[in-house]
Amino acid sequence: MTMEYEKTRAWTSPDVRHAYTAKDTILYALGLGIGADPLDPVQLRFTYERNLVAMPTMAAVLASPGFWMRDRPELGIDYTKLVHGEQRVTLHRPLAPEGTLIGRSRVVGIADKGAGKGALMHVEKTLSDEASGALVATSEQVLFLRGDGGFANVGGGDAPAPALPATPERAPDVELDLPTRPDAALLYRLSGDVNPLHVDPAFAARAGFARPILHGLATYGIAGWGLVRAFCDGDPARLTSIAARLSAPVYPGETLRLEAWREGGEVAFRCRVVERDVVVLSHGRARC
């Protein structure tokens, strides 16, 4: 079945109301490995109710519409071949450690790569404070639909989302190693993504992996934590945007090495797995 471009392009979610608590904020931080040193006062700010602060990357998981492609078979999307390609979060104001947000998601573009080559779908989610209506954050994801190329031949297609710039060729200005816990995926999935790929060894084997892999958004969040530590003096309010390409999977227990460069008012970054020397997060850009 060919993807129905017009119907998919017009998709918008109903309002998603998400009331989250300090417990949710702490659990998200623990899923990123924050709190590994329980005596570190910076890490305690993310894992202790007193003077609690939230990681900006949590905006990617709050008030999301769920796996809507699976629930809309009339769109013709082969969701079994979907890959999360890029993630971007922009904070319009600091994310509160608890509150109620309204999420509104929509498809803002679908680029056809051609028959047999897949398509790129750009989905935007806005988060607004329920009480005031103020815009808190914009979260964008680029999804690689590996099984849905060629639809433009039957009447549709958009320009792709703007490409993220490559990282510099010179040596990094900052390198920071960020170990992940062996049970990182078990913790992170409690923030909302319960895909069995991240917990069930048999399911992961059928998907071609040696064991369950870490969530891509967990890798993204860990990179955000590294940037807060290295460039924001531990203050998450200073990290106002973060974008990256999810380029390869991570196995829980591996060590991520954040490599970062100051580029004017931005930070360019990538992450590689130390044990396998594989870049798992690329084309990173952040403002902090």
Q: What is the DSSP letter of 197?
A: G
Q: Which of 118, 149, 216, 224 is catalytic?
A: 216
Question: Is 92 annotated in the active site?
Answer: no
Angstrom distance (rounded) from CA 20 to CA 29: 14
DSSP letters, 222-239, are HHHHHHHHHHSTT-GGG-
For the chain, helix, strand, coil in percent to 5 are 25, 30, 40
| Among candidate residues 144, 137, 148, 146, the one with its CA nearest the CA of residue 161 | 144
Spatial contact of 219 and 254, defined as CB atoms under 8 Å apart? no
Among the options 198, 222, 242, 284, which is catalytic?
A: 198
Q: In what order do the strands lie in the sheet with 99-112?
A: 16-20, 99-112, 119-129, 135-145, 82-91, 241-246, 278-287, 266-273, 255-263, 174-179
Bridge partner list, 4? none
Q: Tell me whether residue 198 is one of the annotated catalytic residues.
A: yes
Q: Where are the beta strands (DSSP E) in 45-150?
A: 82-91, 99-112, 119-129, 135-145
- Whether 215 sits among the annotated catalytic residues: the reply is no
Catalytic residue among 112, 148, 158, 193: 193
Contact status, residue 258 vs residue 223, Cβ threshold 8 Å: yes
> Of the residues 34, 77, 110, 213, which is catalytic?
213
The yes-or-no answer on residue 213 being catalytic is yes
Residues that are catalytic: 193, 198, 213, 216
